[in-house]
Amino acid sequence: MPDTPPPRKRPSGCAVVLLAIPALLGGLLCGALAVTGGLDVAEVPDQGPWNAYKTVSLWWGVAAGVTTLLLAFVPSARTARSTVRRMAAADAGLVLAIFWPLQVAVLAGYAATRRPLPRTMRVLAVPAGAGALLAGILWGGPAYDTAQVLDDEDATAASLAGDWHTPSGGHLHLGADGRFEATRVPPALFADGFTGSPPGPTEAHGRWTYAYSPWSPGFTFLPEDAPSDAPSWLAAYRTGHTHMLCIATDPDTPCAPGTVFVR
């Protein structure tokens, strides 16, 4: 008599449940962030390629979460131990979704060596894995480097002179003669100055100076009707291709939405 294949059954046990719960929650979170652009960095220049890479990472996390749930609830002839190992690997793929090119390459290498798979699939797995690694090298790495917000250590008063704008319509003119004019700028620009922190956009004019320092933002403003210099949290930053000014009240998020000036 021919051998009878083992019956298909759903895996069970505490390990399966413990692996399925984070897969469900993580997959839902990744999907929500991917749809809403929750990880996108707004207003800061040079973020497009890195935002796109992160979106792909989120969808990869969704796929990993779905894979875990399918392994948990779809009947299979695999042993419970084999199923748990595969679920753990899929959960790891969700947690490390940002490294999706490497994961694709590993899966492609695994598929290329699996004899039970059709020859065409095994052959196509090789260029697929190589393409994923190439995407990580040529897309992910450079996109990350370009998107990083760094102190503009080379900035000088002469290089910063000119017109700066916020996405909401604010305008800051820094004259080469040392005079400034601010129109509809964020209130935090003069939070420590003579105007305090008014609820609406701030308008002022007067004199300005700048000197880079690793311990302070570097800008000082002297509005016309101020009794003394008004220190500001405005500081010079740069990304891979763009120089900008940000109101850095929080050192962990120096260029938060609503605080960015670009030329």
Examine the domain organization and report whether 121 and 189 are in the same domain.
Answer: no
Whole-model pTM: value is: 0.83
**Conformation bin of residue 132: beta by default, left when phi > 0, alpha when psi is -120 to 50:** alpha
Is residue 21 in a domain?
Answer: yes
pLDDT exceeds cutoff 70 at 199:
no
Give 206-214's long-range contacts (Cβ < 8 A, gap of 24+): 206/179, 206/180, 207/178, 207/179, 207/180, 208/174, 208/178, 208/179, 208/180, 209/157, 209/178, 210/155, 210/156, 210/157, 210/160, 210/236, 211/157, 212/152, 212/153, 212/155, 212/156, 212/236, 214/151
| % of residues, the chain, pLDDT over 70 | 87
The answer to whether residue 8 is domain-embedded is no
Residue 146 vs residue 9, higher pLDDT: 146
The domain boundary residue, chosen from 131, 147, 163: 147
Render pLDDT for 175-188 as a digit per residue (tens, 0 to 9). 999 999 999 888 77
Q: Among 121, 147, 173, identify where a domain stops.
A: 147
Are residue 19 and residue 141 in the same domain, yes or no? yes
- Six token digits for residue 238: 């740069």
The residue among 102, 124, 147 that closes a domain is 147
pLDDT, tens digit (0-9, with 9 covering 90-100), for 156-167: 999 999 999 998
Are 96 and 207 members of one domain?
no
Q: Which domain holds residue 103?
A: 14-147
> Tokens 């800008």 map to which residue?
219
